[in-house]
Structure 1
Amino acid sequence: MKLRELISLGGIAGIALAALVGVAPAQAHNAFVSSTPAAGSVVTEQPGTFVITTSDALLDSGPDSPTTFLQVRGPGTAQLYYGDGCATVDGASITMPVELGEAGEYSIAWGVVSADGHPITSAANGGDIAFTWQPADGQELGSGFATPPTCGEAPVGSETPAPDETEAAPVAPTDTATNAPAAETDDRSAAAAGILWIGIGLGVLVLAAIVLLVVVRSRTRSAHGDAAPDADDPPAAL
C-alpha cells in the first residue's frame, strides 16, 4: 500500500475516533466538595442544617429513596442517630435539619445520585465525615434515636435508657451500609459501559478501513483502465 493510502487510512481512523469520543456519554461520577460541619471541625453551636456539597447537580430520587440519605450519629459506643431523615436535594447539595445531642464525637454518612445516574456514597469517597460536638453554654440538645430516622415517620427509640432500664437489651444501631448502595455496583456498571464503547470504537475503525480499501481499489482499477490503449487506435509504427 502506498504512503498516500496509509496517510488517508490514518486520517479516516482519526476522524472516526474523534467522532466516537464526541458522542460517548460522560462516565465521571460527582465528586465530594465540602460538608457542614466540616471534617475534623469542633462545633460549639447547633448547626441547624447539615449540608453535603458535590461537584455537579444531583438527581433527586425522593426523600424516601435509599440512594439519597444523610445520617448523623454519635457519640460513644452505643451511638444514636440524629435528624429527621429528610435529606433534600438542592442543586449540587443535599441538606437535612439536625439537632445534636450529648457532647462527643459524631460522624456523617451520606449517599446521593450522581449527575450520570449512578449512586455514590461516603463509603466510596473517603469514608464518613467525623467532627466533634462541644456545645457552648445555653445550647439546647436534640434527641437521638436507636435507628436511622425515616422521613415522615416517627423514629424508633430515643436517647439513652434511664438507670432503672439499663438491664434491658439495647437496640443495636443499624449499620449505615444497609441503607447505602454497594459501591461495587457502580464499578461494574462503569466497567461494562467502558467495554461497550471500546467495542463500538473498534467496529467504527474496522468499517472505516473497509470503506477506504474499497475506494482505493476502485480508483486503482479506474486508473488502469484509463492507461490501456484504445482498441480503435492504429498500432504504432515500427
Structure 2
Amino acid sequence: MTTGVERRAGVRSRAWRLVAGSAAALAVVGGAVLGVAGPASAHNYLVASTPKIDGTLTALPDAFEITTNDKLLDIGGSDSGFAYRIVGPDGKYYEDGCLSVDGPSMTTKAALGDSGEYTVEWQIISADGHTVSDQYTFTWDAPAGFEPATGSAKPPVCATSQDDGAKATDDGTTGSAAGGGDSTASDALFIGAGGIVLVGLVVAVLLLLRKRPAPAAEDADTDED
C-alpha cells in the first residue's frame, strides 16, 4: 500500500522533472537568442578597398572606396561619425571633403599630388553602433603628363550644398544615408522576441518552484497512524 509520504514524494519528483524540463528549454532558447545576438553585435570589418592595401595606383580612380562585410549604420541621416582622409607624403590632405555612404560601402573623391606613399585614414559606424577606424597605405605612381594637385594643410570641408543631399560638418564628413537601419531594427525585434520567451520560461520555473502540493486528508490520517 502506498503511504502519504510516498505519494507526496512522487508529486515532488514530477514537479522537479517539470522544472528540469523548463530549465532545459530555457537553456535551448537562450542559446538560440545568444547565437543570433552574437553575429548581430560583431563589428564591421574591411573586405575590399580602392586602392588596395599596400597596392600601387597608376591612374586616378573615379572614387576611393572602403567596403565592409555589413551595412554601415547612419545616425540621424547625417553620416555623423564617418570620415575618409587621403594623406600624401607631404602630410597634406587630398580628398575633397565629401563622402557617400551606401550599404556596406563608403566612398570619396581625391585629386592626388606627386608620386609617393599615401595613407588612407577611415572611420565608420559599424552595424552594431560602434565606431571602427583604421588606416592603410598605398603607392601613387603618377602617369606621364599628370598635373599634381596642391593638397590642403587641413582636412577639406565638403563644398556641396545641403540642397544636393550632402551635409557638411566641422570635421569635413558628409554624405548620404547609410541604409543600415533595416538590418539593425530586424535584429533588435528578433532578439526582443527571444527575450520575451525567456522571461516567460523564467516565470514558469519560479511558479513551479513555489508551488507546494497540499497533503490530502487521507495522507494526514496515514501519517498520524
Normalising by the smaller structure, the TM-score range is 0.5 to 0.7
* RMSD of equivalent CA atoms: 3.5
Q: 1:48 aligned to 2:62?
A: yes
Q: 1:148 aligned to 2:155?
A: yes
Residue in 1 that maps onto 2:209: 213
CA distance in 2, matches of 1:33, 1:227: 74
Residue in 2 that maps onto 1:28: 42
Determine if contact 2:26/2:202 at 8 Å carries over to the other structure: no
How far off its partner does 1:206 sit?
6.1
Percent same amino acid at aligned positions? 36
The code of the aligned residue for 2:19 comes to: L
CA distance in 1, matches of 2:76, 2:88: 26
Determine if contact 1:63/1:151 at 8 Å carries over to the other structure: no
More relative contact order in 1 or in 2 (CA 8 Å, sep 6+)? 2
Structure 2: stretches of 5+ with no match in the other structure: 1-8, 161-170, 174-191
Q: Is the deviation greater in 15-24 or in 39-48? A: 15-24
What is the aligned residue count? Answer: 175
Structure 1: stretches of 5+ with no match in the other structure: 123-127, 154-177, 181-196, 231-238
How far off its partner does 1:60 sit?
2.9
Q: 1:85 aligned to 2:68?
A: no
Residue in 2 that maps onto 1:12: 22
CA distance in 2, matches of 1:6, 1:81: 69
CA distance in 2, matches of 1:229, 1:59: 67
The code of the aligned residue for 1:146 comes to: A
Determine if contact 2:98/2:172 at 8 Å carries over to the other structure: no
The code of the aligned residue for 1:8 comes to: L
Residue in 1 that maps onto 2:120: 108
Secondary structure of residue in 1 paired with 2:67: strand
Q: Is the deviation greater in 43-52 or in 9-18? A: 9-18
CA-to-aligned-CA distance 1:164-216 (integer Å, 9 cap, x gap): xxxxxxxxxxxxxx999xxxxxxxxxxxxxxxx9xx89x9586454222134x
